[in-house]
Amino acid sequence: MASKQSKHIGNLRPIDSGDDTFYPPTALAWVSIFIVFLSSLLPWRDWPGSPDILLLVLAFWCFYNVKGVGLVTAFLFGIVMDVHDTNILGRHALYYILVLYAIILMRKHMSQFSVFAHFTAVLPVFVLAAIPSRLFESWLAGVWAGWGWLWSGVITALLWFIADLLFKFFFYQPIDDNTLN
């Protein structure tokens, strides 16, 4: 009797047993990166405290392990943004690499939590990763540019919620357990 009862208990599954893991399509992720890259070429990025949307999207897709989004991609986009902004070559590249490296290190741990926990993890990353590039720029220029760049990191981290909402809304493809059996 006990073995028969344990057999039935082992077959019990929750009502919502679908896999909630987010598997974004690679092509659509790269299309979104390209669209955000084009919007990053507009002059609104020069406003004080403006978020770095390109970095946000790169970090988001790196977190979800999209093929081809990694440190090399961060470096290349960073160099392109430095050339576009006529900044010191390597400032954006250093910032982008530090952020994506931190995301790669935290990916496994962060994936176990909700988007609110993701925000608490990426907030210090977006803010603190900018410090080396800002110090480098100030050292070469000989003048401290101020603390306005902190707002950029905070706003970029806050936009993680919107990126999560939008990308999961447009790209979420649920996996039905019934088709696997």
The per-residue pLDDT for range 153-180, each reduced to its tens digit, is 999 999 999 999 888 887 766 655 565 5
> Is residue 148, in this structure, part of any structural domain at all?
yes
Mean pLDDT across 81-101 = 91
User: By mean pLDDT, which of 38-52, 120-134, 149-163 is the weakest?
Assistant: 38-52
More confident residue, 155 or 7: 155
Range of 105's domain? 26-40+51-170
Instruction: Please tell me whether residue 120 adopts helix, strand or coil conformation.
Output: helix
Q: Which of 128, 118, 124 is nearest to 162 (CA)?
A: 118
| Residue at 12 is within a domain | no
pLDDT: is 37 or 112 the higher one?
37
Residue 15 contacts by C-beta under 8 Å, 6 or more apart in sequence? none
Mean pLDDT of 71-95: 92
- H-state helical runs in the chain: 2-10, 26-40, 53-63, 71-85, 91-110, 115-128, 130-141, 149-171, 177-180
110, part of any domain = yes
Number of folded domains that form the chain: 1
Would you say residue 108 lies in a domain? Answer: yes
Residues whose CB is less than 8 angstroms from the CB of residue 172 and which lie 6 or more positions away in sequence, other chains included: 22
The chain-wide mean pLDDT, for the chain, equals 84
pLDDT-derived band at 112 (thresholds 50, 70, 90) equals confident
For residue 133, tell me if it sits in a domain: yes
* Domain assignment present for 142: yes
Q: Tell me, what's the pLDDT at 47?
A: 82
Q: What is the mean pLDDT of residues 65-76?
A: 94
Q: Show contacts of 20-27: CB within 8 Å, 24+ apart.
A: 20/174, 21/175, 22/64, 22/168, 22/171, 22/172, 23/173, 23/175, 24/61, 24/64, 24/66, 24/167, 24/171, 25/171, 25/173, 26/66, 26/67, 26/68
The confidence score (pLDDT) of residue 24 equals 81
User: Tokens standing for 135?
Assistant: 């110090």
CA distance 23 to 181: 20
User: What number is the average pLDDT over the span 119-128?
Assistant: 94
pTM above the 0.75 mark?
Answer: yes
**4 assigned to some structural domain:** no
Q: Is the model's pLDDT at 17 over the cut of 80? A: no
* Burial of residue 156 (number of CB atoms within 10 Å: 0-12, 13-18, 19+): buried
Which residue type occupies 104? I
Tokens 């093929």: give the residue.
Answer: 67
Could you give the CA distance from residue 107 to residue 64 in angstroms, rounded to a whole number?
8
Residue showing tokens 């392109």:
80
Residue 90 counted as domain residue: yes
